[in-house]
A = this chain, B = another copy of it.
Amino acid sequence: MDLRDSAEEAAFRAGLRDWLARSVPVTTGTAGAPARGRWDDVDAVRSFSAALHEAGYAGLTWPVEYGGRGLSPVHQAIYLEESARAEAGEHIGVIGLGMVGPTVIACGSPAQRAWYLPRILTGEIIFCQGFSEPEAGSDLSAVRTLARRDGDELVVTGRKVWSSYAHLADHCLLLARTDPDATRHRGLSCLLVDLRTPGVTVRPIRQMTGEAEFAEIEFDEVRVPLDAVVGEIGDGWRVAMTTLAHERGTFGFTLTARLEVAFRRLVATARARGRDTDPLVRDQIAARYVELEGLRWTNRRALAELRRTGTPGPETSVVKLRWSQAHQRLTALAVLLTADGRPDGWDRYWRREMLRSRANTIEGGTSQVLRNVIAERVLGLPRSY
């Protein structure tokens, strides 16, 4: 056990930190408060993504043969920590890089690898994920979107919701039912679909913050070639689980690094408002710090397990659950600190962050479902649902 960076890791971190300091565009909102919305300026995100790729920071953990750097998850974790601390934006292909690409590497055909992977790395192709449906909710095996075989094509009809940034994306990894007679998680297939195909309609979903980070995608008799299927027909459940496993991998680092940025802003807000001497506020800030630190070191513990065994430790399952609560508590505290009616930019910033945080316990697995999973799969309790 040694929690210091190795010499090689330290060098990677130093180089990255240096690059970030030079390359992250400075954006500031009113009165020193952060500019709103990570994705408000899509052109800026695109050009930063290109810079990331050029500097070799896209696809860190992808195998070298597919254009990646072949580095360990620890490097990926360092990348996520440092880019969050530098308040750097994410690569525009965050879903392609983190989920779809690894899925194509693991389950895709040589032709799929050759065509999609380089384009994901450069940001030329932007993927979204089409798993959730209005009626299915947390129950992916209840997917109803139909992909009917018609000669060399599949004809897709159905509706997907909660697809992150689908309105920015041009491709979608779609989970659809290819065998309408098979129930539950049998008879599903995963397809790589170009969203510019006729019959696709993408409608942004406006969140309660007033912004749209998600979209619904409607497929109306959309014709997709058979070679768009990832793996075999009927293999969709396994492929989708591969995708979700990659989502869980080092995603905890992304979340925790975002929380650290939020914590730093909380401290700055408390100072700016002169509330950092209030004992109740100090107690709360310390409590939020303990939560942040707990997540940070649990991530690292899970990473050590991932490196040793190839699968993340069971601790991983708690990170999203606890992160979402910690983030909600932090933003609510910040709103209270800025609720004295004196507008200075921070008040609007925190209100928006607080509203947005209410989705944290729902998106990417509701807290209720996560507790079911922990109870059943980690603790071995009897199935309760």
Binding site for B on A (CB under 8 A): 278-280, 283
Contact = CB atoms under 8 A, between A and B. Distances in A.
How many copies of this chain does one complex carry?
A: 2
Contacts of A283: 280
Contacts of A280: 279-280, 283
Nearest to A281: B279
5 contacts: A278-B279, A279-B279, A279-B280, A280-B280, A280-B283
Contacts of A279: 278-280
A360 to B, nearest CB: 25
Contacts of A278: 279
A279 B283 CA distance: 10
A58 B280 CA distance: 48
> 5 tightest CB-CB pairs across the interface, nearest first?
A279-B279, A280-B283, A279-B280, A280-B280, A278-B279
A278 B282 CA distance: 13
Nearest to A278: B279
A283 B284 CA distance: 13
A145 to B, nearest CB: 28
A4 to B, nearest CB: 36
A278 B283 CA distance: 12
A283 B280 CA distance: 8
A279 B280 CA distance: 7
A180 to B, nearest CB: 29
A53 B380 CA distance: 56
A279 B277 CA distance: 12
Q: Which of A278, A279, A283 has the most CB of B within 10 A?
A: A279
Nearest to A279: B279
A79 B40 CA distance: 66
A247 to B, nearest CB: 30
A279 B279 CA distance: 7
Nearest to A283: B280
